[in-house]
């Protein structure tokens, strides 16, 4: 299993934090490492590669009701 | 700071739910995504036309620079080769839209999206003005296939998408074929009754409307809905200013402004943009294009670097910022900023939720919209008639959007300079605030 550290940046970071905090599915398990005013760092346990993980994290949030409404950036930390 | 904090909380409680609702409401999303999906076709048509006139017309800006008409005197004759491109793009946009809206609704409702789209296209022509016999030939008017038929396309797409998706889920209306029947055949029979019902419904509705209003449904919708909304958008520069203000304000609070206003923006400005493009296709010049006010003004003069005219912010950072972190973020943000992608600086400085930078972020685009509109209104430059990709670097959008007008390029640089001047004192203030926080 890989562990990737990812930085998520957003003005409305609370909504992304609410979604990703303790998030777990068949592909990834997320732990929020640090939450700041406009960004947060998460550690993702997964079998995916780094790039695949970033893409996957973006995709699952995009599918939520807030996914198209908020502006955010997700990248490897 | 306490005010800003409570303001942020208010925005979070009020605006985020509204934006979320707008961005997940299926009809709004279906319309927004239909325009996004049809965008490459209209953009391709616009770019081919732009290149056509820029290279092949004797007064085209590329032809002039390269002296093409001295080298190839018969070059202008070949312009007619590319003119029909408009017939395959903007002139049939309503057909794309009706299909895509119904398809998008069906995807959302988990119905057969392809057949939903085809049914909507079929329905669009059921209510279309009938064939006319002219000199023994049956002719169908092209008037409502392009920009003027957009609202009917939207309404039909939404209605058919909804009705089709709901009816096709009813077990009683499904014709179930034996397992030995090929899947494609079984799929079509499954939705046959819903399609028949929709076809009959719209044929009857069309007959009733034609009896009451002989000019037809397209003319009715165009007069009652599309024209007033278009006029709301194109009759005053304030429509662009208000939309830009809302979009940029949302952006600075972490809400995707352009997405949130997309449906209303497209409804208000798409016809004007397409009519301008049709004008240049017919006349070979943006001078005299019918709509001086369109959303294209925002992209051409007020979106350099991305929302909030952040290319001006980047330049201001390089000019006055003494802080290493600001300059480092500026360097990282410059390359994407040239192509109007501003996430690095938006989240890097950060600009989002920054009480100091909120003012220039909202103000600079408004000032630039006024500059660009004034230049068009007072006849210094033609209207922005060509569609140009939003990732085109800054002032080049104004230059290409006007068909290669050099003064438009100069005005674009003036807008960039003005936005830099607007940002300068705020960057200095943000620097001082950051120094205080650091101490």
Mean pLDDT, rounded, of chain B: 91
Q: What is the pLDDT of residues B89-104, one digit of tens each?
A: 989 999 999 999 999 9
Q: What is the rounded distance in angstroms from the CA atom of residue B315 to the CA atom of residue B327?
A: 10
Q: Which residues contact A11 (CB under 8 A, 6 or more apart)?
A: A38, A70, A71, B252, B253, B254, B255, B352, B353
Task: State the CATH number of the domain containing residue A11.
Answer: 3.30.70
Q: What is the mean pLDDT of residues B278-294?
A: 92
Residue B171 pLDDT > 80, yes or no? yes
Q: What is the rounded distance in angstroms from the CA atom of residue B401 to the CA atom of residue B391?
A: 13
Q: Mind telling me how many Å the CA of B19 is from chain A's nearest CA?
A: 6
Which one of B256, B310, B361, B434 would you mutate to disrupt binding with A, by most A Cβ within 10 Å of its Cβ? B256
- Which residue from A minimizes the CA distance to B251? A71
Other beta carbons within 10 angstroms of residue B78's beta carbon come to: 12
Q: How confident is the model at residue B69 (pLDDT cuts 50, 70, 90)?
A: confident
Could you give the number of structural domains in chain A?
1
Give the distance, in angstroms, between the CA of residue B319 and the centroid of all CA atoms in the same chain: 34
Q: What is the mean pLDDT of residues B413-424?
A: 98
- Which residue from B minimizes the CA distance to A72? B254
- Which residue from B minimizes the CA distance to A74? B343
Determine the pLDDT at residue B54: 86
Residues of B with Cβ-Cβ distance to A9 under 8 angstroms: 343, 347, 350
B239-250 burial string, b = 16+ CB within 10 Å, else e? bbbebbbbbbbb
Determine the pLDDT at residue B398: 96
Q: What is the mean pLDDT of residues B154-179?
A: 91
**Which of A37, A38, A66 faces B20 most closely, judged by CB atoms?**
A66
Return the closest-CA partner of residue B125 out of B198, B187, B68: B198
Residues of A with Cβ-Cβ distance to B12 under 8 angstroms: 12, 14
Q: Mind telling me how many Å the CA of B278 is from chain A's nearest CA?
A: 32
**Which of B20, B24, B353 faces A11 most closely, judged by CB atoms?**
B353
Determine the pLDDT at residue B22: 84
Residue A37 pLDDT > 70, yes or no? yes
Q: Which residues pair with A8 in a beta bridge?
A: A40, A74
- Which residue from B minimizes the CA distance to A71? B256
Residues of B with Cβ-Cβ distance to A54 under 8 angstroms: none
Q: What is the mean pLDDT of residues B165-180?
A: 86
Give the distance, in angstroms, between the CA of residue B342 and the centroid of all CA atoms in the same chain: 19
Please count the CA atoms within 13 angstroms of the CA of A26 that sit on its side-chain side: 0
Q: What is the rounded distance in angstroms from the CA atom of residue B162 to the CA atom of residue B393?
A: 41
- Beta strand A2-10 with A72-76 is antiparallel
Determine the pLDDT at residue B352: 92
Q: What is the pLDDT of residues B327-374, one digit of tens each?
A: 999 999 999 999 999 999 999 989 998 989 999 999 999 999 999 999
The region, left, alpha or beta by phi > 0 then psi within -120 to 50, assigned to residue B389 is beta
Q: What is the rounded distance in angstroms from the CA atom of residue B1 to the CA atom of residue B409?
A: 40
Determine the pLDDT at residue B16: 86
Identify the domain containing residue A55 by its residue range: 2-76
Q: How confident is the model at residue A15 (pLDDT cuts 50, 70, 90)?
A: very high
Residue B166 pLDDT > 90, yes or no? yes
Determine the pLDDT at residue B435: 84
Q: What is the rounded distance in angstroms from the CA atom of residue B362 to the CA atom of residue B373?
A: 17
Q: How confident is the model at residue B1 (pLDDT cuts 50, 70, 90)?
A: low
Residue B243 pLDDT > 90, yes or no? yes
**Which of B24, B252, B347 faces A9 most closely, judged by CB atoms?**
B347
Answer whether A65 sits within 8 Å of B254, measured CB to CB: no
DSSP class per residue in B35-61: HHHHHHHHHHHHHHHHHIIIIISTT-H
Q: What is the mean pLDDT of residues B385-398?
A: 92
The pLDDT > 70 percentage for chain A reads: 100
Determine the pLDDT at residue B240: 96
Q: What is the mean pLDDT of residues B250-267?
A: 90
Q: What is the pLDDT of residues B18-46, one digit of tens each?
A: 888 888 899 999 999 999 999 999 889 88
- How would you class A37 by CB atoms within 10 Å of its CB: exposed for 0-12, middle for 13-18, buried for 19 or more? exposed
Q: What is the largest CA-CA distance in chain B?
A: 87
Residue B128 — φ and ψ, nearest 5°?
A: -75, 150
Q: What is the pLDDT of residues B93-134, one digit of tens each?
A: 999 999 999 999 999 999 999 999 999 999 999 999 988 888
- Which residue from B minimizes the CA distance to A13? B254
User: pLDDT: is B176 or B101 the higher one?
Assistant: B101
Q: Is A51 helix (H, G, I), strand (E, B) or coil?
A: helix
Rounded to two decimals, the ipTM of the complex is 0.89
**Which of B16, B24, B350 faces A12 most closely, judged by CB atoms?**
B16
CA distances from B304 to A28, B270, B415 (A): 38, 21, 9
Determine the pLDDT at residue B72: 84
**Which of B12, B23, B347 faces A69 most closely, judged by CB atoms?**
B23
Q: What is the rounded distance in angstroms from the CA atom of residue B52 to the CA atom of residue B377?
A: 27
Q: How confident is the model at residue B320 (pLDDT cuts 50, 70, 90)?
A: very high
Residues of B with Cβ-Cβ distance to A72 under 8 angstroms: 254
Answer whether A70 sits within 8 Å of B24, measured CB to CB: no
Answer whether B256 sits within 8 Å of A13, measured CB to CB: no
The pLDDT > 90 percentage for chain B reads: 64
Determine the pLDDT at residue A45: 96
Q: What is the mean pLDDT of residues A56-65?
A: 94
Find the helix or strand (DSSP H, E) in which B172 lies: none
**Which of A15, A68, A73 faces B347 most closely, judged by CB atoms?**
A73
> In the numeric block, which tokens belong to residue B298?
């925002």
- Which residue from A minimizes the CA distance to B353? A11
């Amino acid at each position: 299993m890989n562990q990737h550290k990812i930085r998520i940046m957003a003005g409305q970071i609370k909504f992304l934090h609410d979604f990703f905090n303790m998030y777990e599915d068949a592909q990834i398990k997320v732990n929020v490492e640090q939450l700041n005013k406009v960004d947060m760092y998460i550690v993702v346990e997964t079998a995916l590669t780094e790039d695949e993980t970033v893409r996957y994290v973006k995709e699952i949030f995009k599918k939520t009701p807030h996914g198209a409404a908020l502006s955010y950036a997700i990248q490897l930390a | 700071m306490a005010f800003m904090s409570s303001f942020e909380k208010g925005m979070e409680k009020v605006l985020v739910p509204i934006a979320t609702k707008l961005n997940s409401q299926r009809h709004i999303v279906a319309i927004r995504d239909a325009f996004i999906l049809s965008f490459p076709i209209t953009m391709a048509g616009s770019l081919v036309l732009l290149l056509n006139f820029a290279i092949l017309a004797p007064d085209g800006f590329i032809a002039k620079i390269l002296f093409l008409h001295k080298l190839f005197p018969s070059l202008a004759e070949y312009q007619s080769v590319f003119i029909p491109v408009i017939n395959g793009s903007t002139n049939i946009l309503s057909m794309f839209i009706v299909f895509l809206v119904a398809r998008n609704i069906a995807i959302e409702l988990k119905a057969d999206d392809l057949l939903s789209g085809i049914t909507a296209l079929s329905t669009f022509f059921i209510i279309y003005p009938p064939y006319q016999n002219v000199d023994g030939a049956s002719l169908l008017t092209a008037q409502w296939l392009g920009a003027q038929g957009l609202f009917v396309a939207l309404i039909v797409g939404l209605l058919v998408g909804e009705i089709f998706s709901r009816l096709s889920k009813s077990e009683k209306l499904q014709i179930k074929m034996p397992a030995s029947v090929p899947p494609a055949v079984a799929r079509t029979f499954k939705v046959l009754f819903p399609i028949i019902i929709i076809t009959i419904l719209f044929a009857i509705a069309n007959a009733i409307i034609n009896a009451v209003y002989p000019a037809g449904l397209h003319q009715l919708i165009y007069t009652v809905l599309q024209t007033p909304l278009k006029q709301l958008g194109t009759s005053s520069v304030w429509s662009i200013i208000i939309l830009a203000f809302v979009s940029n304000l949302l952006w600075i609070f972490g809400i995707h402004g352009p997405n949130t206003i997309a449906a209303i923006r497209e409804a208000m400005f798409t016809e004007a943009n397409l009519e301008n493009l049709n004008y240049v296709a017919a006349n070979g010049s943006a001078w005299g294009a019918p709509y001086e006010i369109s959303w294209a003004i925002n992209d051409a003069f007020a979106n350099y670097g991305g929302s909030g005219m952040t290319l001006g912010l980047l330049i201001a950072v390089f000019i006055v910022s003494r802080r290493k972190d600001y300059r480092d973020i500026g360097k990282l943000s410059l390359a994407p900023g040239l192509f109007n992608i501003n996430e690095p600086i938006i989240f890097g400085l950060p600009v989002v939720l920054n009480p100091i930078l909120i003012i220039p972020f909202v103000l600079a685009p408004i000032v630039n919209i006024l500059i660009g509109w004034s230049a068009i209104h007072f006849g210094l430059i033609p209207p922005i008639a060509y569609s140009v990709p939003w990732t085109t670097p800054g002032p080049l959008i104004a230059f290409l959007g006007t068909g290669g007008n050099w003064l438009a390029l100069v005005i674009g640089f003036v807008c960039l300079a003005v936005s830099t001047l607007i940002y300068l004192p705020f960057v200095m203030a943000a620097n001082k605030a950051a120094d205080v926080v650091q101490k």
